[in-house]
Amino acid sequence: MISVLEAYAGLALSAFLAATILPVSSEAVLASLTLGSDQNIWVLWLIASTANTLGSMVNWWLGRSCLRYSRRRWFPFSSAAMEAAGQRFRRWGQWSLLLAWVPIVGDPLTFAAGVMATDWRLTIILLATGKAARYGIVIAAAVQFT
């Protein structure tokens, strides 16, 4: 049996890492904690939402910081690829960050937001809103199975 602290720390770590390029499933961890323990679901929701938002903000920061290296030979993206990504991001705008929780699309989206130097305050609000809604749905679905 895991302690409350271990459960919360494991959830926070999985949610944070799931917002990076690492293939981690925080939804499975959250659902299992919702189903298999007597943890407070509001605390689980808050931890998962906050940690996942913070992980996405790391992606945003990396995007914001990467441009200083864009002229280096080893830089992984061509200027044409960076411009194309910028055009796609501008097409949908900062509001697309509400969908940053979507697998495969979300990580590059938050990175592009950093490259485009979106306002960090609105970025956090949009990310947190989308991620909190997603984790709320995960918890509601898990509760249906209890």
Percentages (nearest 5) of helix, strand, coil residues in the chain: 75, 0, 25
pLDDT in tens, 74-112: 777 777 777 777 787 788 889 999 999 988 888 888 988
Domain that holds residue 77: 4-144
pTM: 0.87
Rounded Cα gap, residues 30 and 52, in angstroms: 12
Q: How many distinct structural domains can be found in the chain?
A: 1
- For residue 18, pLDDT over 70 is answered with yes
pLDDT in tens, 1-15: 678 889 999 999 999
